[in-house]
Structure 1
Amino acid sequence: MRRNADTTFGPQPMRIGLLGFGHLGQFLCAHFERERTKPMRDFDIVFIWNRSTTIFTKYGKDLNQELIVSTVQEGLQRLPDLVVEAAHPDVIRIYGEQILDVCDLFIGSPTALAFAPLEARLRKKSMESGQVIYVANGAFCGADDIVKMSERDLVRSLTITMRKHPDSFKLSEPLRSKLIHERAKVDNDQEEIVIYSGPVRELCRLAPHNVNPMAVGAIAAEHLGFDQVQGRLIADPSLIDRHVVEIELCGPETVIGDKKKTTFHIKSVRTNPAEIGYITGTATLLSFVSSIKHAKGHTAGIHVV
């Protein structure tokens, strides 16, 4: 029996292991630690791991040093119910299968799944172990509806556009050089720059830190996937206090009246408060906590929550 399934003394908090102690990881850690003061709490954090341990030194007594582990394997020995990744796609690539041997996995960097062999290995491991893979919907609104439509083969196209201030991107080459070059060329410092437009799979490789909502869309619209879901990445200097995510979906045509065809169409715009230089908006941080609360009770496989 899983430890958090033991209800002998009432519902037990979910035992959480945390991978990554950057902006998102620190937010989650602070939230989990505040939970400890509540008589009825949802979570107990049992370990924290970061690729570089130097980040922990500046916290001193403000951080429970007993939670820090030097290796992921050491953390897994503490028998978490769920490991939350808030670090980097490479962490999923290196440790994902090991985690699924022990407990469920919550992926905060879903761009990792754009690498098709890794996605296949994780799905296979999930089915073999019975452990579940959860993906945070983050800044992507309407994922549940898209999953339902995709199950009925009703999604014909999905385009996700992300707009941020140029200084809020963390890009790999050649997109990094392209952005620098295009900014130097424009006469108007408020002019938008289209950094990328095309299939999401390649963009996840080139901008793994910036396009998690696009990866979520590709997972939700499973029959389109990373190769058919389209992504557009736009640098907009006017966005000094927010990120913008636009989601546009087209469904099947329907004949209405005298043989007139009408297409099902949805377009949503999410404006997420964020300071210049921050990759993750404030609303996304809170969304992560809600997603982790829903990371339970699913069957093996990959689920967006």
Structure 2
Amino acid sequence: MSEERSRRIGIVGYGHIGMYLVDQILQEGPQYHLELAFVWNRSMEKMDGKVAPHLQLHDLSEFAKRHADLIVEVAHPCITRDYGERFLSTADFLGLKITMTKHPNSFKLKGQLVELNQQALNGRAVLYEGPVRSLCHLAPNNVNTMAAGCMAAHTLGFDSVIGALVADPSIPDWHIVDIEVTGPTNEKTGQVFTVKISRCNPAAPSSVTGSATFISFWSSLLACKGHGGRVYLC
């Protein structure tokens, strides 16, 4: 019986999650038949003394030369926009999709949401409620769960899925996401079928990423096998 071939993993982004995944692959990867193909980051100096030079990819456009079986993007939505299709031409592609109701200091916002968020330091406030498409460019680091929902609910998409971004100074160490699915109204009874799910993720104060997210990504990476040119949401 031949030994299982190790899957080569490319990590795009070396922030908190990227660092975690790189360390996990280096320390525990062999037992799961995983090995690093490359690590890329916008600021390459962050990897000095932490990632071996031969594993550092200085030009992301040359990712195909590293022959990765799976590419994990944990950098910024613009990377998926610019490289997603090309990633899928050579490897499976795992996308980062998570957002939560957070303390105002845990948001990274743009445009008119910046001032609204500062005002929310005085009390809970809804920063935005409406179609996800209009929110994505205002909070690119905080709308991943919403974007994933739009892709999963393909008959609704980014224009019909409603997103609400809430700043709450009373939860300095929690990220909360609430998902509500509403079905069609019963014509006879007028009743509406709904499903509500709430997730509370512990998080360090002012952190954009919740504590459980790291383990979630590691578990998803282990489960992602042979998707064949598809986007994998986790």
Do these two structures clear the TM 0.5 threshold for a shared fold by scoring above it?
yes
Q: Residues 217-228 of structure 1: matches in 2 within 5 Å?
A: 217-228=149-160
Structure 1 CA distance for aligned equivalents of residues 226 and 88 of structure 2: 16
Q: RMSD between aligned alpha carbons?
A: 2.0
Deviations along 1:10-67, one digit per CA (max 9) or x if unpaired, are 222211011100111111111111124x4x324211110111112123xx1x432321
Give percent identity, aligned residues only: 41
Counterpart contact for 1:167–1:277, Cα < 8 Å: yes
Match for 1:11 among 4, 25, 33? 4
TM-score, with length taken from structure 2: 0.91
Structure 2: which amino acid aligns with 1:216?
A: A
Structure 2 CA distance for aligned equivalents of residues 203 and 170 of structure 1: 12
Counterpart contact for 1:48–1:75, Cα < 8 Å: no
Correspondence for 1:297:
226
Counterpart contact for 1:35–1:42, Cα < 8 Å: no
Higher-Rg structure is 1
In structure 2, the CA distance between the partners of 1:80 and 1:56, relative to structure 1 (3 Å rule), is same
Secondary structure, aligned partner of 1:173: coil
Match for 1:178 among 106, 116, 134? 116
Correspondence for 1:211:
143
Structure 1 CA distance for aligned equivalents of residues 120 and 9 of structure 2: 43
Q: Measure how far apart 1:303 and its partner are.
A: 4.5
Q: Measure how far apart 1:254 and its partner are.
A: 4.1
- Gaps (5+ residues) in structure 2? none
Secondary structure, aligned partner of 1:164: coil
Counterpart contact for 1:83–1:104, Cα < 8 Å: yes
Correspondence for 1:276:
205
Q: Measure how far apart 1:238 and its partner are.
A: 0.7
Deviations along 1:113-171, one digit per CA (max 9) or x if unpaired, are xxxxxxxxxxxxxxxxxxxxxxx5x56xxxxxxxxxxxxxxxxxxxxxx4100100000
Match for 2:28 among 7, 16, 35? 35
- Gaps (5+ residues) in structure 1? 1-7, 109-135, 140-161
Deviations along 1:243-301, one digit per CA (max 9) or x if unpaired, are 0101111113347xxx4343211111100000122111011111112222232333554
Q: Measure how far apart 1:75 and its partner are.
A: 3.4
Structure 2 CA distance for aligned equivalents of residues 52 and 299 of structure 1: 30
TM-score, with length taken from structure 1: 0.71
Structure 2: which amino acid aligns with 1:51?
A: R
Match for 1:45 among 36, 39, 42? 36
Count the aligned residue pairs: 234
